[in-house]
Amino acid sequence: MNLKIAVLGAGVMGNGIAHSLAVGGFDVELYDPIEAARIGAIEQIRKNLAKGVERGKLSAGEADVALKRVKPAVTLAAARDCGLVIEAVPEEMALKHAIFKELSTVCPPATILATNTSALSITEIAASATEPSRVVGMHYFNPAHIMRLVEVVRGLETADRAVEVVESVAKQCGKETVLINEAPGFATSRINAMIGNEAFYMLMEGVASARDIDKALKLGLNHPMGPFEMIDLVGLDTRLKVLEYLHATLGEKFRPCPLLVKYVKAGRLGRKVGRGVYDYPDK
């Protein structure tokens, strides 16, 4: 499949998604309004590709070709001639609405519009696009260039063609997909947010230290990462937004733990800022 793809948002997820698409053979326009985010993302992709070469995942030549496929874009107009757009901007419905409304004027009707939202309603995001049938959820996992799953989420109006295009793109990039009928938090975020929130309640209650809760889940339950390591990777602000949404849609069992709220207020947002549950002095 030969398709030019726009990725909107060059943050934690945007750079990993662009990396995965470029290695899969797609030309990518990576748009972010913040110059530092665009520069940082290209640098991150370069570093991650180099790690891939060290680990024998791809050759140095393939990494060079992949890096050249990713073009930083300074306006949303870069999505104009793309067959697929993948949105990875912060988890706020108002922002997603503004972007999908603008995309409807920028892109021709055949362009498929995907969102990497962790939990929000695809149907609600699609309502701001002129053709809601072309909007579909394409939920990657962090780090997106390594994790193998993409949750494909069908909203109320999503057309079969939109599902087929994103499934083919994911497959070409070596990903596995699952097809989810829209529900808050899909399959993965719903369970993951619940585990992470419970871990925060346990920390707040003094049940054990963060290190020991992480160790317990890794060694006792065979989780590859502890819940606090995971939340530091995801971003505490992103996780809080997911929990707030699940609380509003699915009820009391998802009420965000006050300690998590406190950490976010303190600016302890995770690895991306050098401090979350744990400290990352090198960041």
Nearer Cβ to ligand NAD (58/142): 142
CB of 70 to ligand NAD, least distance (A): 15
Region of 122 (left: φ > 0; alpha: ψ -120 to 50; beta: rest) is alpha
Closest-by-Cβ residue to ligand NAD is 11
CB of 120 to ligand NAD, least distance (A): 7
Residues 6+ apart with CB under 8 A from 165: 3, 83, 84, 112
CB of 160 to ligand NAD, least distance (A): 24
CB of 217 to ligand NAD, least distance (A): 18
Phi, psi torsion values for 271, nearest 5 degrees: -50, -40
Cβ proximity of 178 and 52 under 8 Å = no
Nearer Cβ to ligand NAD (202/269): 269
Nearer Cβ to ligand NAD (95/110): 95
Burial degree of 171 (CB within 10 A; 0-12, 13-18, 19+): middle
CB of 62 to ligand NAD, least distance (A): 25
Cβ proximity of 161 and 112 under 8 Å = yes
C-alpha to C-alpha distance for 120 and 124, rounded to whole angstroms: 8
Binding site for ligand NAD (CB under 6 A): 8-14, 31-34, 37, 88-91, 99, 116-118, 140, 142, 234-235, 238
Q: Tell me the β-bridge partners of 137.
A: 115, 153
Nearer Cβ to ligand NAD (17/53): 17
Nearer Cβ to ligand NAD (90/267): 90
